[in-house]
Structure 1
Amino acid sequence: MTRPQPATSSRARAARPPWAIAAEAARGLALALLFCLTWSAAQAETAKLRVATRIVPPMVVEKNGTLSGFSIELWNSIGQRLNRETEYLVLPDVSELLDAVGSGRADLAIAAISITSEREDKFDFSLPIMNSGLQILVRGTAVNVEANPLRELMQLFVSRTLLVWLGIALLLILVPAHLMFLVERTHHSGIIPTRKYFPGIFHAMFWAAGTLATQADQMPRHWMARIVAVLWMFTGVVFVAFYTAQLTASLTVQQIRGPINGPQDLVGKTVGTTRGSTATAYLNEVSAHMVEFEKVDDLYNALLKQQVDAVVFDAPALLYYTTHDGQSSARIVGEVFHREDYGIVFPTGSPLRKQVNEALLGLRERDIYQRIYEEWFGKR
């Protein structure tokens, strides 16, 4: 006789309390969510990093479709330490780089990107990868081909140099003029026709000035006055020699230096730079007539075509240009100013920032950073 089996399947399930069923469902959901998160993290750690950059030699150089340069080699070394592949996104200027990072089209951006307080409010930056600043580029080589001799001579006539020499000459004239007046006015046939101070002193000053510039048209009669005259003629020779040397030196400096020699000379000039760079804010502050260009090559071409008087841009880029493509057509004037640091830019809160900083410190400790720097900029 067969015993009936207890009906445990549906009845037992029906007998389970609701909280037990909910707990089992929650565990299943948690396991599924954990699997998805783990899978997503694994995918994120192996996915290619989208790196935005721009062509700005020597930071980023493009040749035959291949990118190189200081920033590219530095990032490739960082990527190797992170064990991540890189997909580069080339954009025209800094504004586009920041927009790409902010909109999520790029995971980070690297080129000549200056770290500023305004950008720090919207993005995260890595440790500085280089310290640099702005510099000025003008047309011409070591000798200013744009110099106008007549214009430079006219400027010299109203310059501070001429005023200084005229002041020195006036002081020198007053001394022998008074000596001559005091001695010659008592001589019956002296060159001073009157004993009165005025106009007698003017006669003496005219004689002293003429003797200083050329030679005496009259010789004094008194023996003491003749001694003064001889000494004064010798002084005149020395004075004219020094003045001629100073005049020659001033004209030479004017031709070599040109009208723009530093930041103080940018006021009122037409100055070019790239769109969105830190130079734009500086040029607005100094009241220069600023013209913005999208690409660096367009900026250099505008200078050579005389569309702008000067270029203000990142010092490493200008130095590289003057030693390569612009070696015979442009030159740098003045020192580096408006010092700033370059960094790698990330979206706010990006976990890559900490990883990249650790990799960057590792490259410095192992002198890999120094090797890359010296390859593109030489030894410091």
Structure 2
Amino acid sequence: MRIATREAPPFAMKGEDGQWHGLAIDLWDSIANENGYAYRFVETDLDDMIDGVADGRYDASVGALTITADREEKVDFTQPFTTTGFGIAVRKSPTAWLALMQNFFTWDFFKAVLALSALLLFVGFLFWLAERKKNPEEFADNASGIGSGFWFSAVTMTTVGYGDKAPRTPAGKAIALVWMFAAIIIISTFTGMIASSLTAGRLAGAIAGPDDLPKVTVGSIGGTASDEWLRQERIAFTGYPSVEAGLKALQDGEIDAFVYDEPLLRYMLRQSRARDVELLPGTFGRQDYGIAFQQGSPLREPVDVALLRYIRSSAWREAVAQTLGKRE
């Protein structure tokens, strides 16, 4: 028998010695042993795994092969041997304090601080002009007096009011009265701007699930079930030739999220131990992996029986747990 497959860790992997192994490969080996099949694997691409079975070049296709309506029109699938969904890989968010510092110390923030300082200096200068002749003890007729005016305007705005400086002239008191009311509006507006900036900074680019994908740049692998799912959800994406290429683009900042089969992403991230990339909790959409046969193939029924027997065994459960680890 000629069995088509392709690299799809951890379901189908080719060792340096050219031998195939993985969850789906071991599953097929168990089925073949039970039914007395002699076989050899033929490496090909995803499209040919379907077309080659449909036209009889291959007896079956084994791997991380998602059962879809379009594929079912060309081939017959066995019962699913695993049910999963799509996963979303993203770059890890910085720690809370680091994120706060990054969002706080921005150019826009410094511009706002400079504008506020300029306003305080202007109001302080007005205080100095009104007080420097009749109140030289607190607002000296020199540069230090302007500094005192700046200080008074600042503590008045913040409602601290230390009491070390106070206007004595009618003009100074009038300016102070107007400034007190104006400062309430200004400081409230400024506080709101800072809070809004920090909140927007924390939310910008944050990805919590598929609803956030239309707002960011997404990557996936073209011609796969994840491609079909993204198109159905009307989510634009950049295609990559492999999971490794997509995850590298994610690490390099070329994309904000990479969408693909959740168990494959989980396995790749577990193997790479990438510290700057993580998989969002949960799965999205639904995927059933099956083995493809030519339509009407007499092999499908005995394979189904052996498959269902194997995936209910402790050997299969232990293999999945050891290979994929615990799902978040």
Q: Is the TM-score greater than 0.5?
A: yes
Unaligned runs of 5+ in 2: 110-155, 163-190
Deviations 1:239-282 (A, max 9, x none): xxxx9xxx7xx869938x95222101111433221222111122
Cα separation, partners in 2 of 1:338 and 1:152, compared to 1, 3 Å? farther
Partner amino acid for 2:271?
H
- TM superposition shift of 1:333: 2.0
Are the aligned partners of 2:267 and 2:323 in contact in 1 as well (CA < 8 Å)? no
Find the counterpart in structure 2 of residue 227 from structure 1: none
Equivalent residue runs for 1:1-380 within 5 Å: 49-64=1-16, 65-92=18-45, 94-140=46-92, 143=95, 254=202, 258-364=205-311, 366-378=313-325
**How many positions carry a matched residue from both structures?**
251
Match of 2:122 in 1: none
Question: What CA distance in whole angstroms lies between the structure 2 residues aligned with 1:287 and 1:266?
Answer: 10
Instruction: Go from structure 1 to structure 2 and tell me whether the alpha carbon gap of 1:300 and 1:129 turns closer, same or farther (over 3 Å shift).
Output: same
Q: Does structure 2 retain, via aligned residues, the 8 Å contact 1:152–1:251?
A: no
**Are the counterparts in 1 of residues 53 and 61 from structure 2 also a CA contact under 8 Å?**
yes
Change beyond 3 A, Cα 1:252–1:67: farther
Deviation at 1:133, TM superposition (A): 0.3
For residues 216 and 361 of structure 1, the distance between their equivalents in structure 2, rounded to whole angstroms, comes to 79
Partners in 2 of 1:81 and 1:111 — Cα distance?
19
Q: How has the CA–CA distance of structure 1 residues 104 and 295 changed in structure 2, closer, same or farther, with 3 Å as cutoff?
A: farther
The 10-residue stretch of structure 1 (94-103 or 75-84) with the greater mean CA deviation from structure 2 = 94-103
Q: Secondary structure at the match of 2:4?
A: strand
Structure 1 residue aligned with 2:144: none
Q: Is 2:205–2:216's contact at 8 Å kept on the other side of the alignment?
A: no
Contact 1:268–1:287 (CA<8 Å) still a contact in 2? no
- Structure 2 length-normalised TM: 0.64
Point out where structure 1 has 5 or more consecutive residues left out of the alignment: 1-48, 158-210, 218-242
Q: 1:140 to 1:378 in 2, by over 3 A?
A: closer
Greater relative contact order (Cα < 8 A, sep 6+) = 2
Amino acid at match of 1:111: G
Q: Alpha carbons of 1:371 and 1:251: their partners in 2 closer, same or farther (altered >3 Å)?
A: same
By how many angstroms is 1:306 displaced?
3.1
Please tell me the residue identity of whatever aligns with 1:314: D
| Greater Cα radius of gyration, structure 1 or 2 | 1
Q: Secondary structure, in 3 states, of the residue corresponding to 1:267?
A: helix
State the shift of 1:137 in Å. Answer: 0.7
Using a 3 Å threshold, how does the CA distance of structure 1 residues 309 and 342 change in structure 2: closer, same or farther? same
* Separation in structure 1 between the aligned mates of residue 74 and residue 49 of structure 2, nearest angstrom: 13
- Cα offset, 1:91, TM superposition: 2.2
Aligned residues of 2:103 and 2:201 also touching (Cα < 8 A): no
Residue identity opposite 2:32 in structure 1? G
Distance 1:216 1:348, change over 3 A: farther
How far is the alpha carbon of 1:143 from its aligned partner? Answer: 4.6
- Separation in 2, partners of 1:326, 1:55: 20
The SS at the match of 1:311 is strand
Deviation of 1:68 after TM superposition, in Å, equals 1.5
Aligned to 2:185: none
Letter in 2 for 1:69: G
What do you get for the CA RMSD once the two structures are aligned? 3.8
- The percent of aligned pairs where both chains have the same amino acid is 31
Secondary structure at the aligned position of 1:137 is classed as: strand
Whether the aligned pair in 1 keeps the contact of 2:266 and 2:324 (CA below 8 Å) is no
